[in-house]
Structure 1
Amino acid sequence: MSHPQPLTSPVACAVITVSDTRTFDSDRSGQLIQALLHQAGHQISDYRIVPDEPLSIGPLCQGLGAQSDVDVIILTGGTGIAPRDTTYDVVATLLDKTLPGFGEIFRQLSFQEIGSRAMASRAVAGVYGSTLVFSLPGSSKAVQLAMEALILPELPHLVSLLRS
């Protein structure tokens, strides 16, 4: 079986910042994700900031995943091990399929930049229904690394696989 051709049309993306303190003005990581997606020719179909609460994160991801105008959900924040970091726990339970390589490669690349501290990242990716989901740390440097090295180069291909 041959692989489908990567998409040539824009991918519709929802961006979620998980934070108890960020606002639309101070959300550098969410703004960076949107800017990088726009530069790559993709569309932002939704952008939200939600508190790091499972009852805020889970239903929002489920709702966005059910929308026909959302191909990808990218979350930033809440992937560490602090007591308030619940994004990973919520996202991991939603995923129908995981992409273990994403987290593994992201931590490997992070290790090259920040050393052993990279092991505390619980960045994860996978598929919820027919929607691709990426959950990134809240750091702008981590977001830039994940977006430029992993997500943007593969986004059209991965979405085309889900549509085939």
Structure 2
Amino acid sequence: MHSPDTPKEFIPVRIAVLTVSDSRSLAEDRSGDTLVARIEMAGHILADRKILPDERAEIAAQLSVWCDNPGVDVIISTGGTGLTGRDVSVEAHRDVYEKEIDAFGTIFTIVSMKKIGTSAVQSRACAGVARGTYLFALPGSPGACKDGWDEILEPQLDYRHRPCNFVEMFHRLEEHKRRK
């Protein structure tokens, strides 16, 4: 067991990025580009990247495919978290979650409040866990992706972050499936 003062080695995480948009192509995906650049700059691995329209069943199906892929540890989606009738990323994520990480949306709102004030109330950013995979849904703007990554995800996906982080819990996410 590590003491609190024992230095830890960085562990790269395999991350899939999903952009949810009815209008963007890969060439126009500034939010996805923002996430990919930050993922790679932090030393993590881009496991896959896709763009899907705002269709709940398609989004949930892709999230499930990635959750079942042993080459994907984390999924970050961008877009579809707003209040319009076409914004269904949150519902699609919740279709897949086994457990929701409630505090993620709260922390994201706190971070957003510092940047955009009360407009932060319009975001439904959320996170959860399914089949040993972390899932995060961020709003579709590059600024929101920067804030979500820089302020929450980068430190929490760094094994060296103290006092605790998401990476050190990977091996325990499915402990309920072990035989007793």
Tell me the percent identity: 37
Equivalent of residue 46 in structure 2, options 32, 44, 47: 44
State how far apart, in whole Å, the 1-side matches of 2:108 and 2:41 are: 22
Q: Which residues in structure 2 correspond to 1:1-164 (within 5 Å)? A: 8-156=10-158, 157-164=165-172
Tell me which amino acid in the other structure corresponds to 1:153. Answer: P
- Higher RCO structure (Cα 8 Å, ≥6 apart): 1
**When the two structures are aligned, how many residues end up with a matched partner?**
163
Q: Which has the larger radius of gyration?
A: 2
Q: Give the aligned residue type for 2:166.
A: L
Deviating more after overlay: 92-101 vs 55-64: 92-101
- Assess if the C-alpha contact under 8 Å between 2:100 and 2:128 holds in 1: yes
In structure 2, what is the Cα distance between the partners aligned to 1:46 and 1:6?
A: 27
**Structure 1 spans left out of the alignment, 5+ residues:** none
Aligned residue identity for 2:59:
I
User: For structure 1, which segment, 154-163 or 115-124, has the greater mean C-alpha deviation from structure 2 after superposition?
Assistant: 154-163
Q: Distance in 2 between matches of 1:162 and 1:109?
A: 25
TM score, norm. by length of structure 1: 0.94
Runs of at least 4 residues of structure 1 off by over 3 A?
none
Give 5+ residue unaligned stretches, structure 2.
Answer: 159-164, 173-180
TM-score by structure 2 length?
Answer: 0.86
Rounded Cα–Cα distance in structure 2 between residues aligned with 1:118 and 1:21: 23
**Over aligned residue pairs, what C-alpha RMSD do you find?**
1.8
Deviation at 1:67, TM superposition (A): 0.3
